[in-house]
Amino acid sequence: MSEQQPSRRDSARLDILRQELLSPVVSVDGHADLLQGLIKNTDCLADLEKIKTAATQTRTLVAAMLAAETENLAETQRDNQRSGFRHDLRNSVGAISGYSEIILEELEDADELSEDTRVYLDHLQTDSNKLLDMLDTLFQDDHESGTDSESALDLDIHSVFDSFDRSEKEDTETITGRILVVDDNESNRNLLSHQLQQQGHEVSTVASGRQALDLIPESAPDLILLDLFMPEMNGFDVLREMHQDEALRAIPVIVITGLSDRSAAAKCIEAGAFDILLKPVNPVLLKARVAGCLERKAWHDKEQAYQQELEKSYTFIRKVFGRYISDEVVQEILEADDGMQLGGGKQQITIIMTDIRGFSMLSQELDPQDCVKMLNNYFGVMTPLIQKYDGVINEFLGDAILAIFGAPVVSDDHAQQAVACAIEMQQAMGEVNRNHHTWGLPSIEVGIAVNTGEVVVGNIGSENRSKYGIVGHHVNLTARIESFTVGGQVMVSEYTVAALGSPVTVATSLEVEAKGIKNRVKIHEITGIGAPYNLRLEQDEQTVLQLQQPLPVTFNLLSGKAIADEQVNGTLTAVAVDIAHLETAFELEVLNNLRMQLPTFEASEDDQIFSKVTGVVDDTPEQNKYIIKLTSAPLSARDYIRSLAVLPQQ
């Protein structure tokens, strides 16, 4: 190895010298060709021919001079030889510069010198001067500095070869892969596959382009070595067909051809070939190109896998979130730089909580199937509405919906979006109940609470099971407000109203106490919201009918979940669909919850009737008159009360 190195380096030195010396000559040739197209003057064209002749001589002399360098000669002999080449080269290069000067002078005199011509002629001068400079310094180092120091060129050569040596030592493992050899010539096929097998690759072979195309899709090789001239289907057509196919296009192809025609090589590269190797294939080059190709393929595959992984996780996220969030919000989360970091953070958001009035009782009476049908219908109508206002359904809890606005995607108008959404949800109850009617199912009503405040938002739970959720006393407050609502109402906290940008119509306002909130909280029943939403709730105008005979009832006042023992007497004096006027000596307040018994209606222990005080008609002492609304009652009880109301009309 160490004995071979100097000769490798010497030959590299000569290669580089040849390249250095020939590039100005190639430039002269090229510019002379260009000038032939520009110059009309016949004398000058003749001189241009002489320049081309001189360029050819120069080329031949350079090759001969460098070939002579490899001869083993005595020093004086070598010096004489070099001097001879130098002399001849100075003459041939001198002819290039001399004739270009002559052409320049003659065209100038004849006033036929175009700008391009001048520039190209200048290049001939520059190139020949460059050559002359190189000839002057070419062998100077040998004379001046002997063998101790090296020229800059030698230093360059050594640095490159030293790097080669290092990389050879580092290359302990070379990349291997599955390679398909496509060649109709059996000897070629065998040689290539043996060479590749020796390099550790897994090789399969086919003898025609058609067979290759049949095999490639299922075998999916890492690399294809493709012959150009084959029966059935030639290599170029294979390339073109592969390029048409999205899946096959990614497989790199090295074309192996005996065709040294440059335009054929260019055509193959254009058609998608990774590289061209000329026959007979040099095994060292083959090894290097195959390794380079496989490495690129490995990177490409890795990138592809990563891409697929990413796509898969996106699809997963879409699937998980898509049930609760609109596509736009999912897209926004996916595209946001920190969108996937759904970690905890305090955030101002608006919360909506809805509840179907008396659903627990209803669910006991209904077929389980009907119950599920009813809920699916209800959620099916509500979900798109919430998404329409950029809300996120955080949870379905039984018949309740917990939706948040302003997270995970931050927005400035989450309060008004939520209020508008709540109003439209109430409006949509008509559609929900129309479906119920078609199916012969009872109508339902929802109460909706809206509250705005700072909560902790993020992924809450353990490593294995976590969900995006919200925590904080504003969540509890929302639930509390929800408990004050009756069917058809949208109750909004003062915090939400303060955050609204749009004007709203307030029907009634109350103050309530809530856990974790120091002061009493004002809540407002909202029946409409202005621009840009312009939504209004049709007021429930139930015709209240006086009963011919007041209906005696007894009731207990509920405090929280507890039912007071004290049983109070009263009478219902008027009824509508689900409201009634209650007269009693007992003093009640708006929002008091009552459990009622109708002595004239037989009910089981489970069939309890709950109602809420929604208004005061008259509060003269000893005989108070309140409006109550049924919040939860068995269907039979509702029907019974309704029958009392419609009876007088019949």
Of residues 135-174, those binding another protein (CB under 8 A):
136
CB atoms within 10 A of CB 624: 18
Cα distances from 562 to residues 323, 559, 570, 593, 594, in angstroms, run 37, 5, 21, 11, 11
Of residues 23-62, those binding another protein (CB under 8 A):
50, 53-54
470/455 Cα distance (integer angstroms): 6
Q: How far is the CB of 101 from another protein (least distance, A)?
A: 7
Q: How far is the CB of 54 from another protein (least distance, A)?
A: 7
Of 9, 59, 78, 86, the one binding another protein by CB under 8 A: 86
Name the CA dihedral angle for 429, 431, 435, 437, rounded to a multiple of 10 degrees.
70
Q: How far is the CB of 256 from another protein (least distance, A)?
A: 45
Nearest residue (CB) to another protein, 93 versus 256: 93
Nearest residue (CB) to another protein, 27 versus 128: 128
For residue 503, cis peptide bond before it (omega within 30 degrees of 0) = no
Of residues 113-132, those binding another protein (CB under 8 A):
128, 132
102 touches another protein (CB under 8 A): yes
Name the CA dihedral angle for 100, 101, 104, 109, rounded to a multiple of 10 degrees.
-140
Q: Which secondary structure element, helix H or strand E, spans residue 6, and what is its range?
A: helix 4-38
Of 62, 95, 192, 553, the one binding another protein by CB under 8 A: 95
Q: How far is the CB of 97 from another protein (least distance, A)?
A: 6
Give the type of residue at 434. Answer: R
Sole window of 89-97, 271-279, 351-359, 378-386 interacting with another protein (rule: CB under 8 A) = 89-97
Nearest residue (CB) to another protein, 137 versus 519: 137
97 touches another protein (CB under 8 A): yes
Q: How far is the CB of 31 from another protein (least distance, A)?
A: 18
Q: How far is the CB of 94 from another protein (least distance, A)?
A: 3
Residue 76 φ/ψ, nearest 5 degrees: -65, -40
Number of residues that bind another protein (CB under 8 A): 21
559/554 Cα distance (integer angstroms): 17
93 touches another protein (CB under 8 A): yes
99 touches another protein (CB under 8 A): yes
103/52 Cα distance (integer angstroms): 13
440/448 Cα distance (integer angstroms): 25
Q: How far is the CB of 87 from another protein (least distance, A)?
A: 5
The end-to-end CA distance of the chain, in Å, is 118
Of 5, 77, 83, 149, the one binding another protein by CB under 8 A: 83
Residue 27 φ/ψ, nearest 5 degrees: -65, -40
Contacts of 123 (CB under 8 A, 6+ apart): 27, 28, 31
Residue 507: closest CA among 615, 399, 628, 638: 615
Of 94, 339, 442, 530, the one binding another protein by CB under 8 A: 94
Of residues 524-583, those binding another protein (CB under 8 A):
none
Sole window of 70-78, 101-109, 318-326, 574-582 interacting with another protein (rule: CB under 8 A) = 101-109
Q: Which residues bind another protein (CB under 8 A)?
A: 50, 53-54, 83, 86-88, 90-91, 93-95, 97-99, 101-102, 105, 128, 132, 136
